[in-house]
A and B are shown apart, each in its own frame.
Chain A
Amino acid sequence: LAKTTQPISMDSYEGQEVNITCSHNNIATNDYITWYQQFPSQGPRFIIQGYKTKVTNEVASLFIPADRKSSTLSLPRVSLSDTAVYYCLVDGRGNTPLVFGKGTRLSVIA
């Protein structure tokens, strides 16, 4: 299973753009990159998924370079409510269960 590496923690001020980078050097051709968000005492929540280039939704943008060995989750203008743990996963889309790492703990400061 492809493993991901992401920073343990990040701090940001409200209103700033936050970029969390994840490396996945051994990603397979059929794998996607998926990001989840988890608030304290809740289960993780799917936020975005992509295969290559750029994907954007109402929550975040996901940038994936051509070699697909890394990806960057971009959160525009964060607020205090974006304080959470963010997980980057290599996703075979149901072929195998998701393997969660320890994620990146994002703290947004007023």
Chain B
Amino acid sequence: DVKVTQSSRYLVKRTGEKVFLECVQDMDHENMFWYRQDPGLGLRLIYFSYDVKMKEKGDIPEGYSVSREKKERFSLILESASTNQTSMYLCASLGQVPYNYGYTFGSGTRLTVV
């Protein structure tokens, strides 16, 4: 089974800190995604990447950046954390061939900014 691992399950950070959320997948998938999930709002796409060193903005990229230096790792960076970035962050990966099993999500990182 494809495994997507997010480095932290729970994280508490202070306002203004630079925060790194790490995501690693073990199936050589080309595509990786970062979503955030908030009550009543569903999952919203922050950034995605179709290949190493490629990145594309999603629907809510403001206040975030990403890094994909290696195929298996996709990092989400909060440049200066703010309280409105308190959320559940979900990373996902997708292989192109064969496309049979959709996105594989990690277990999520619940980030609290105080």
Give residues in A with beta carbon < 8 Å to B.
34, 36, 41-46, 49, 87, 91, 93-94, 97-103
Given A43-B108, A94-B94: A99 and B103 interface contact (C-beta under 8 Å): no
- Output the nearest chain B residue to A89 by Cβ-Cβ distance: B102
Give residues in B with beta carbon < 8 Å to A.
4, 31, 33, 35, 40-45, 48, 58, 90-92, 94, 96, 99, 101-108, 110
Q: Are A46 and B102 in contact (CB under 8 A)?
A: yes
Q: Point out the residues of chain A lying under 8 angstroms from B58, CB to CB.
A: 97
Q: Are B107 and A43 in contact (CB under 8 A)?
A: yes
Q: Point out the residues of chain B lying under 8 angstroms from A97, CB to CB.
A: 33, 45, 48, 58
B33, B42, B102: which contacts A103 (Cβ < 8 A)? Answer: B42
Q: Are A102 and B42 in contact (CB under 8 A)?
A: yes
